[in-house]
Homo-oligomer: A and B are copies of this chain.
Amino acid sequence: METVNILIEALPYIKKFHHKKVMIKYGGHAMIDSDAMSSTARDTVLLKYVGMEPMVVHGGGPEISRSMSKLGKEPKFIGGLRITDSETMDIVKMVLVGKINTDIVSKVCLHGGKGIGISGKDNQLIKANKKAPHVMVDNSTGEEITVDLGLVGEIESVNTEIMEMLAENNYIPIVSPIGVDEVGNTLNLNADTVAGDIAAKMEAEKLIILTDVPGILEDPKDPETLIKKVKVDEIKDLIDNGIVKDGMIPKVLTCVNAVENGVKSAHIIDGRIKHSVLLEIFTTKGIGTMITK
């Protein structure tokens, strides 16, 4: 009986988002183990069955670092970006495309979705350029130091031809965040940005980023201070006064960019909470921070 009452309660949300595209960025806890991944995949498939059109972009930083360590290579970061030499790029591709992506595809298919894995290289879905070197200042000498990031890329353009075909044929695409430059080199991309840019190009209704925090907190130590809704033009203040800081800054800016380019709302939610995606979509209050125009 309860089942039924709740379906009835969910009906308005189901109606509201019928045939709407939803881009979900899998990250952090939601991918921590096979069970978490399975649960996230099941939620994604459910969205499909109640009429939405989910798309997935996944990350994979920790697993890449683990694989590098196994191979005796030390992961190096600068300004939050992984320095990616050619050998590292091979590991990145293998872990993202060969391991994480195929694992998600497996889960999605097991739960009844038509999962298909693609990467930014397929039909040159994501064209990218090598990122400019990172510039730092040596505090002691005041000298500028320029660090080449290697095969790290910035998105130049998204060719959604494959995505359109998959949407029309009821597939759930799982996208690995790598791109290709004009001579065919593979470039390592930021997964949040990939999710945001594809969401915008596909005119998604929602971009949902799964993280390991509750959302934007006024006081990072107090989950009660969660900001539930924020407009894109209020974001600058939140950054200026330090409420949004560190690793949250690029995530929030990705959201702002997506919303400014056509996505109706972007959501930063806590992937550690079970069924967080569904809670965000099917309840009035939601559970994380929603960013809108």
Interface residues of chain A, those whose CB is within 8 Å of chain B, are 1-11, 14-15, 18, 42-43, 45-46, 49-51, 70-71, 90, 93-99, 101-102, 105-107, 109-112, 114-119, 121-124, 161-162, 165, 169, 171, 178, 180, 183-184, 186, 275, 278-279, 282-283
Contacts and interface: CB of A to CB of B under 8 A. Distances in A.
Contacts of A184: 106-107, 109-110
A1 B273 CA distance: 10
Contacts of A180: 106, 109
Given A6-B2, A118-B117, A123 B95 contact: no
B116 A275 contact: no
A9 B178 CA distance: 32
Contacts of A165: 165, 169
Given A7-B50, A8-B42, A123-B114, A1 B99 contact: no
The 7 closest A-B pairs by CB, nearest first: A98-B98, A94-B98, A94-B94, A6-B6, A97-B98, A4-B278, A116-B122
Contacts of A183: 110
Q: How many protomers of this protein does the assembly include?
A: 6
Contact of A279 (B4, B18, B93, B105): B4
Contact of A275 (B4, B71, B118): B4
A3 B3 contact: no
Contacts of A93: 98-99, 102
A4 B37 CA distance: 17
A52 to B, nearest CB: 11
B106 A11 contact: no
A112 to B, nearest CB: 5
A279 B6 CA distance: 12
A171 to B, nearest CB: 7
